[in-house]
Structure 1
Amino acid sequence: MASDDDDRARIKDEAQYEALRDQGMSKEKAARIANTPRQKAGEKGGKHPRYEDWSLDELYRKAQQVGIGQRSEMSKAELIKALRSH
């Protein structure tokens, strides 16, 4: 198992990472953002339909894939919120 020091060594923009953590973001999400190259960060994604257009089963499977717990108890709106904040 990797230590926190090993994980921190892979952060490319430490200042941005710390600012995001101070805002309450998870370590994983802050690291993803801090490791995204600046020129790529502004590009618009939009490659899949909005979560509101997904079926409940599709949302459930995506939540399962990314490791969101208690998803079986969530409504469609709750799953969407959980996916967006993960």
Structure 2
Amino acid sequence: MTKDHGPSIKDDKLYEDLRDQGMSKEKAARIANAKARGDEPSKTGGAASPYEEWTKDELYERAQEIGIDGRSKMDKSELIEALRSH
């Protein structure tokens, strides 16, 4: 039986399936809620260029926005890895 994750999760079953696949809580919630609204997340997202094309300063700013710890000591490849695994 699917657990009720409260009003912030619009599709509990999809959310649980995505979490079982290893997605973060944040990402699973975004996808589950978008699908519940009838959006197609894979078509609405992906407009940004790949992280490899970003400057280190741009990567650092993005890491700062989402609160990645230790970002000041990371090189470009470490910032990319931290952003992707967030």
TM above 0.5 = yes
1:11 is matched with which residue: 9, 12, 21?
A: 9
Letter in 2 for 1:55: T
In the alignment of these two chains, the number of paired residues is: 81
Q: Percent identity at matched positions?
A: 58
Q: Distance in 2 between matches of 1:79 and 1:71?
A: 7
What do you get for the CA RMSD once the two structures are aligned? 2.1
- Deviation per CA, 1:15-56, whole angstroms, max 9, x where unpaired? 111112223322212111111134422315343322111111
Instruction: Write the mapping of 1:34-45 to structure 2, written as runs, cut at 5 A.
Output: 34-37=32-35, 38-43=38-43, 45=45
Q: Distance in 2 between matches of 1:24 and 1:47?
A: 23
Corresponding residue number in structure 1 for 2:29: 31
